[in-house]
Homo-oligomer: A and B are copies of this chain.
Amino acid sequence: MATIRKLLIVGGVAGGASAAARARRLNEATEIIVFERGPYVSFANCGLPYHLGGEIAERESLLLHTPESLSARFGLDVRVSSEVLAIHRERKTVSVLNRVTGETYEESYDALILAPGAAPIRPPLPGLDDPRVFTLRNVPDLDRLMAAMTPEIKTVSVIGGGFIGLETVEALRHRGVAVHLIERAPQVLSPLDIEMTAPLAATLRAHGVQLHLDEALTRIDAGEQLHLQLASGKAIAADLVVLAIGVRPETALAADAGLELGVTGGILVDSQQRTSAADIYAVGDAVEVQHVIAGKPVLLPLAGPANRQGRIAADVIFGRESRYRGSQGTAICKVFELTAASTGLNERALRAAGIAYRKLYLHAGDHAGYYPGATPISLKILFAPDTGKLLGAQAVGEKGIDKRIDVLAVALQAGMTVDDLAEMELSYAPPYGSAKDVVNLAGMAAQNLQDGLLAVLQAEDVAQAIADGTQIIDVREPEEIAAGTLPGARNLPLSGLRGLLPQLSKDRPLLVYCQVGLRGYIAQRFLAQQGYQVRSLNGGYKTWSMWQQVQ
């Protein structure tokens, strides 16, 4: 390994800052220069919407480090407002523009790490260059938006219902302005499948957000207000607009230098963060990663992977054997009182990747029902029909969502099967969980499905089943029916079902269901053993309701 006398790092936030700090801990003698195009390094990117909303009261809380603090602590040469314009591979230098002085200069490198991040997507639509159209990606973006949020601002439209869009919507509602959320897809938060977003849409509406799903922005006309024109013909007036459509990797510098990009458009790197060019590494939102479940390259701009990749690049440069294992797309979002999170692939992605799967819905309390304050968790797991291997999970609820998705994220990382979920020994006392946690229940239900004990009908197939003459049996207690029931359902409560058998014909197939699926399963087992052709509604009435809400 050649001696690394000089290491240059382009980008001083998550991946770049992690790489620099790790490099210094590994090698005290190397000169390390970090170039950051913006005025701030190592800022709390993920905290920006929370300062907008006021939860994070002090802007300074977002500035985790300064060039001075990084210099003092790590002996780093951190240069802000310094844009790397070009990489000269043949002579191993970069050209740098000092954006304050306008001066340009070259710096040489023995190794170069690119951590330029990703930039907000600004679609080429008329009117998006209006100064009242904002993005929220860095501290200057935040400063501009905060300055623009004068008391005169009454209505803000947010374009895009992903993580940043939803966090921005919530922040704006906390500030008391009217908010329109415009999303091109029929759902918010695309890592989740559509039915799992039903509670999110309901909560957004309950908090006064005007939700426009399946609506594409086509242009913005400037007047005293901004006038947003949607493809459907709908028009929305706004004092300000925040674009949160997504981000695209910052690859111009890499591409100009002839570095290979991947099929996704991100910088191509190997598992040790090496680009196609000698001595040049890349990390973070700008690179394409291997999805561990899909087995193909994807763009997954996430803070955790960026930090870990930065550490790995530094390791490899200094001769260590670290490798990035790929990404699984674990993500989480607070949406007012709800939390939504996921890991692995969802149904849409599994279908797109041609991966066979089975799915199960569970609804259970975040802790024992007899201990006060329990709130429901809606969990969906996806697993391989042949091996039972976990492929993905999604959860929505008020509490304990992060815990369940983290548990399932580790299970996914370990290649665990539904048998392993059933056997998990999780911490249990009444304030924290249940003797059979919802994750255990998901594993047990999946075992039953795999073993043929549980036969399910999907909520989305109910209408067809009814059309085909299936008898629908609601096994809940009569007092539970008031809130709604499946069309044409007969109520035969499980508690009395054993005495009601003569009422059921064996000529037609049966669909049984309860509120969440457990009693439906018990009824299904009972009836199946009596010779009925019977299926249980996957996830019960609650899952069916979620589907109804997104039709």
Where the two chains meet, the residues of A that have a C-beta atom closer than 8 Å to any C-beta of B are: 14, 21, 24-29, 44, 46-47, 50, 55-57, 61-62, 64, 69, 72-75, 163, 167, 302-308, 311, 320, 325, 327-334, 339, 341, 343, 368, 370-372, 402-403, 405-407, 409-411, 413-414, 416, 420, 422-433, 435-437, 440, 444, 451, 453, 494-496, 498, 519, 521-522, 525-526, 529-530
Contacts and interface: CB of A to CB of B under 8 A. Distances in A.
Contacts of A303: 428, 435
Contact of A495 (B62, B69, B525): B69
Given A44-B370, A47-B368, A529 B427 contact: no
Nearest to A410: B410
Contact of A56 (B330, B370, B427): B370
Contact of A444 (B311, B329, B423): B311
B46 A435 contact: yes
A402 B302 CA distance: 24
A103 B120 CA distance: 79
Given A307-B435, A423-B413, A525 B406 contact: no
Given A308-B436, A329-B425, A332-B432, 10 more contacts: A25-B521, A25-B525, A56-B370, A308-B423, A308-B440, A331-B427, A407-B407, A409-B424, A410-B410, A413-B423
Given A29-B529, A304-B440, A414-B416, A425 B330 contact: yes
A325 B424 contact: no
Contacts of A413: 420, 423-425
A13 to B, nearest CB: 10
Contact of A430 (B28, B46, B498): B46
A231 to B, nearest CB: 31
A73 B416 CA distance: 33
Contacts of A432: 332, 334, 339, 402
A56 B367 CA distance: 13
Most B CB within 10 A of own CB, among A21, A414, A430: A430
Contacts of A496: 72
Nearest to A71: B498
Q: What is the oligomeric copy number?
A: 2
A414 to B, nearest CB: 4
B410 A424 contact: yes
A436 B307 contact: yes
A74 B530 contact: no
Contact of A403 (B343, B403, B422, B519): B403
A427 to B, nearest CB: 4
Contact of A402 (B69, B167, B427): B427
A304 B44 contact: no
27 contacts: A14-B435, A24-B525, A25-B525, A28-B530, A46-B428, A47-B430, A50-B430, A55-B371, A69-B495, A72-B494, A72-B495, A73-B519, A302-B425, A303-B435, A304-B436, A306-B435, A307-B436, A308-B423, A308-B440, A320-B451, A328-B425, A329-B425, A343-B427, A407-B410, A409-B425, A409-B426, A414-B416
A332 B428 contact: yes
Contacts of A440: 304, 308
Contacts of A167: 429
Nearest 10 interchain pairs by C-beta = A414-B414, A28-B529, A332-B427, A303-B435, A403-B403, A61-B370, A25-B525, A72-B495, A402-B432, A410-B410
Contact of A435 (B50, B304, B329): B304
Nearest to A405: B427
Given A26-B453, A405-B427, A371 B334 contact: no
A243 B308 CA distance: 50
Nearest to A328: B425
B430 A44 contact: yes
Nearest to A519: B73
A444 B21 CA distance: 13
A385 to B, nearest CB: 19
Contacts of A75: 498, 526
A550 to B, nearest CB: 23
B28 A425 contact: no
Contacts of A305: 425
A425 B69 contact: no
B330 A427 contact: yes
Contacts of A405: 427
Contacts of A308: 422-423, 436, 440
Contacts of A28: 525-526, 529-530
Nearest to A433: B402
Given A372-B56, A444-B311, A73 B423 contact: no
A325 B423 contact: yes
Given A28-B529, A62-B370, A73-B522, A302 B428 contact: yes
A222 to B, nearest CB: 34
